[in-house]
């Protein structure tokens, strides 16, 4: 209950009612907590209280230099029973920030803008090297910094995500890997 301190203490006149259930002290305490929760839900707007159903893990940028775009990667986890549709992202550290995908066909790599990405219910979606990525067009950041990216979803929710800024070799211990898109290469004849 992170917002509990902002909630006023229950009025003392509620306590006698509580004493009447002394044999079930625990249940009594739960009643008080429920009252607190009810109180806080009345005081605070619901958006500030509910945990977003989508969280991002291992989010990072590969920053090279200000003149060239930085690629952003992350894993989105949806804990709700509804699919969540990511429709865009923005960051003060990027200028333009767009969802992109590297597509390989016929031995040619192609960058494709992605209008939306669906994170399945109770599932994950990975932005990984050689596949889906965020294109941070004018990176204003430095290695070692953490910058905020705000993800926008189709249901109107916005989720701020901290991105760690790494240099060209990426997070320590990671092997640059684009193999997971199953790229096939045809040799030119």
Partner 1 sequence: MAMSRSRSRRVKERRAREQKRIAVIVAGTASLLLAGAVLWLLHAPPRATAAIGGPFRLSASNGQIIDNRSFPGRFTLLYFGYTHCQDICPTTLAALAGALKLLGHDADRVQPLFVTVDPGRDTPTVLQMYLAKFTPQLIGLTGTPQQIAAIERAFHITSIVHRTAIGYDLDHSAVLYLMSPDGRFVAPIRAGETAPAMAATLARYLS
Which spans of this chain sit near partner 1 (rule: CB under 8 A)? Answer: 62, 64-65, 67-71, 96, 98, 100, 102, 104, 107-111, 113, 129-130, 133, 135-137, 167-170, 175-179, 181, 183, 185, 187-189
Contact present, 76 and 56 (Cβ < 8 Å): yes
Q: ∠ at Cα 97 (79, 70), nearest 5°? A: 100
Token digits for 79?
């804990």
Matching residue, tokens 């045809």:
186
| Euclidean distance between CA atoms 129 and 73, whole angstroms | 7
CB of 130 to partner 1, least distance (A): 4
CB of 7 to partner 1, least distance (A): 46
CB of 28 to partner 1, least distance (A): 58
Q: Is the dihedral of CA 121, 127, 131, 135 positive or negative?
A: positive
CB of 57 to partner 1, least distance (A): 19
| Euclidean distance between CA atoms 133 and 140, whole angstroms | 18
């Amino acid at each position: 209950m992170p917002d509990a301190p902002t909630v006023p203490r229950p009025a003392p006149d509620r306590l006698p009612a509580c004493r009447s259930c002394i044999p079930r002290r625990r249940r009594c305490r739960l009643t008080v907590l429920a009252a607190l929760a009810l109180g806080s839900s009345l005081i605070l707007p619901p958006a500030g209280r509910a945990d977003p159903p989508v969280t991002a893990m291992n989010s990072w940028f590969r920053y090279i230099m200000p003149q060239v775009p930085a690629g952003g990667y992350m894993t989105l986890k949806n804990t709700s029973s509804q699919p969540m549709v990511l429709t865009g992202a923005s960051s003060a550290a990027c200028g333009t920030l767009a969802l992109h995908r590297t597509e390989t066909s016929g031995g040619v790599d192609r960058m494709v803008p992605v209008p939306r990405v669906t994170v399945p219910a109770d599932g994950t979606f990975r932005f990984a090297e050689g596949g889906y990525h965020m294109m941070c067009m004018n990176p204003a950041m430095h290695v070692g910094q953490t910058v905020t990216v705000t993800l926008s979803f189709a249901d109107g929710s916005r989720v701020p995500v901290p991105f760690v800024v790494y240099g060209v070799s990426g997070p320590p211990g990671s092997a640059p890997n684009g193999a997971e898109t199953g790229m096939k290469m045809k040799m030119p004849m």
